[in-house]
Amino acid sequence: MKREVHPGRLRGKISLPGDKSISHRALILNALAHGKARISNFLDGEDCLGTLRCLRQLGVSVEKIAPRAVILEGRGLEKLKEPEDVLYVGNSGTTIRLLMGVLSGLPGSSVLTGDASILRRPMGRVAVPLQLMGARIIGRKGGTLAPIAIQGGSLTSLRYETPVASAQLKSAILLAGLFAEGITEVIEPLQSRDHTERMLRSMGARLWTNGNLVAVEGRPRLQAQDIDVPGDISSAAFWLVGATILPSSELLLENVGLNPTRSGILDALREMGAKIEVSNPRSVCGEPVADLLVESAELEGISIGGELIPRLIDEIPILALAAACARGRTIIRDAGELRLKESDRLEATATLLKRLGAKIEVMPDGLIIDGPTAWLGGNTESFGDHRLAMTMAIAGLLAPVSIEGTECTETSYPGFWETLEEVRK
C-alpha cells in the first residue's frame, strides 16, 4: 500500500498501543503458568497475534474479548501439548526465538517457520545453548536458519555466556531453564531488556540477577497474572522525535513504559537537547510507567554507543532522522545487530534518508550523520520494515513523501496512520 504524507506540526494527546515485547511475554509466560489471566492493552498487531495462534496450537485456551484485551487459561509447564501442525510465526523474531526455548522443554516434536524475512534471520545463536541443554534442533545451514525442527524434553541446566546482548536469546534460554532441573544462568556482555525477568519473578519464579548475570531455578509452579500492558516506548519514539523536530509542536503521550533497559531513546534525545517532561510516574505489574510531554526543540549532534545501544536498538532509524535535523555530527556505533532485523536497518535507514537529502554514511556497526538537512521530499519505501515505514512517515512532516509498502506498520502499531492524521495539524 502506498501512502502520502505532507508537512505539518504535531499537537494533541496520544494513547499508545501496548508494548510489543511485553505483550509477547504476557501470552507465553501466562501459558506456562496455572490459572486464568486477563491481558489488557494487549498489542493486537500481526507479530503478537502470531504468538497467540502458536499458543493455541500448543493447547492453550486464548480468547480475544476486545480489540486490546485477551483472556488466557494457563496450562502449566507439564500440560502443553505437542503441536499437530507446523507453527507459523509470520514476521515475528520474538515469537520464533522465545518459542524455541519453550519447545525445547516440551516432550515431542515441533517445527517453527515464518515469512521470507524470518527465513533469512539467524537462529543459530539461540539453537546452540538449547542444544547444550539437551534439545535436538535441526534447520537449514546446520540449524542456523528456519524452518527449525525441535525434539524437546529432558533438559539439563547450564551456565551460558551469550556472544551478544539480546533479550530474545536470553529469554529463550531462561524459558528452557524453566523445564530443566537445577539452576540455569545466563551472562550477557551488556544488559538487554529485562521484561522476561520481571514477569517471571512476579509469577513466582525463583529468579535473581547480579549485574549482567540472570539465574532461574527450574520446575517452578508459576501463577497466572493479570497484566495491563504499558504503552510501547518504541512506538512513542516516533512521536517524541516528530514533536521535537517540527516547529510549534507539542504532544502528550500517556501510559508509556519506561523500563530502564528500554528507555535509552529518552537519554539520547535529552542529550541532543530535546524537551521531554515526565509526569505521573507509577508501577504497573512491576514495570515503571509514566506520561511524557514533548515539545519542539533545537537539537545538537552527539556520539552514542556501548551500553546505551541495547537500550535503544529498535529506535535507531527514527533517532537517525532526529540526527539529520540536528546541528553538527552524530555518530552511532556498536549497532551492528541492526543488520539482522527485518531489513538491514543500517543500510536501509541510510538509503532512505539519503533519498530525502540527508548526509549519512554507513559504518560496519553504525552511522555517521551530518546535519541539519535541507529536506527534499520525494518517493520512498519501507523495505517491508515497520520501523522504517513509520520513520519515513515522520520525515514526510518535514517535506512531502510518498511511501510504498506501508501495510507493514500493522506488525507493531495498528492504527498508526489514523493517529498520525489525528495529531497532524
Among 19, 232, 314, 385, the active-site one is 314
Is residue 314 part of the annotated active site? The answer reads: yes
HEC readout, the chain: CEEEECCCCEEEEEECCECHHHHHHHHHHHHCCEEEEEEECCCCCHHHHHHHHHHHHCCCEEEEEECCEEEEEEECCCCCCCCCCCEECCCCHHHHHHHHHHHHHCCEEEEEECCHHHHHCCCHHHHHHHHHCCCEEEEHHHHCEEEEEEEECCCECCEEECCCCCHHHHHHHHHHHHHCECEEEEECCCCCCCHHHHHHHHCCCCEEEECCEEEEECCCCCECCCEECCECHHHHHHHHHHHHHCCCCEEEEEEEECCCCCCHHHHHHHHHCCEEEEEEEEEECCEEEEEEEEECCCCECCEECHHHHHHCHHHHHHHHHHHHHCEEEEEECCCHHHHHCCCCHHHHHHHHHHHCCCEEEEECCEEEEEECCCCCCEEEECCCCHHHHHHHHHHCCCCCEEEECHHHHHHCCCCHHHHHHHHEC
Give the catalytic positions in this structure.
314
